[in-house]
């Protein structure tokens, strides 16, 4: 679970469980209670800033150095090209808002390079598996 300022983005390798809950809602209160969060001591850390709560399920079995949890005032970019939007692996670029204006013009280069890399290594490892089985 993550409790963050209301306008933050939160993503992880694990799937998000349900929708984010906003401070003051019954769902928010229930999530905090289910994780035994001491609201009297924890929530004042945010001062008067509104918060929201994200809950994540179990992550796939991956090496610990590959686990990712991101929280902050980020901007998300997705491709404008349909072939990349419908690629077998969801591709997004997450950027600090302070540098997002520089990424806007080059985002498709990142998507094309990542897509090409995934396809290359997928083909390479499939070929190696085929040779090993022969």
Low-confidence ranges of the chain (pLDDT < 50): none
| Residue in the structure block whose two tokens are 């302070």 | 98
| Residue in the structure block whose two tokens are 């209160």 | 29
- pLDDT given at position 29: 86
* pLDDT tens, residue by residue, 64-83: 888 888 999 999 999 999 99
Which pair of tokens denotes residue 106? 């080059």
Q: % helix / strand / coil in the chain, to the nearest 5?
A: 45, 20, 35
Enter the pTM of the model. Answer: 0.70
- pLDDT given at position 106: 92
Domain layout of the chain by residue ranges: 1-72, 75-134
Strands 51-54 and 74-77: unpaired
- pLDDT given at position 109: 95
């Amino acid at each position: 679970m993550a409790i963050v300022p209301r306008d933050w983005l939160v993503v992880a390798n694990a799937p998000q469980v349900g929708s984010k809950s906003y401070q003051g809602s019954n769902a928010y209160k229930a999530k905090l209670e289910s994780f035994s969060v001491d609201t009297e001591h924890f929530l004042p850390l945010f001062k008067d800033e509104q918060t929201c709560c994200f809950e994540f399920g179990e992550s796939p079995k991956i090496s610990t150095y590959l686990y990712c949890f991101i929280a902050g005032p980020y901007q998300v970019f997705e491709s404008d090209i349909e072939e990349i939007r419908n690629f077998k692996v969801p591709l997004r670029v997450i950027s600090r808002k302070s540098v997002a204006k520089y990424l806007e013009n080059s985002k498709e280069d990142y998507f094309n390079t990542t897509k090409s890399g995934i396809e290359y290594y997928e083909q390479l490892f499939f070929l190696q598996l085929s040779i090993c089985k022969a």
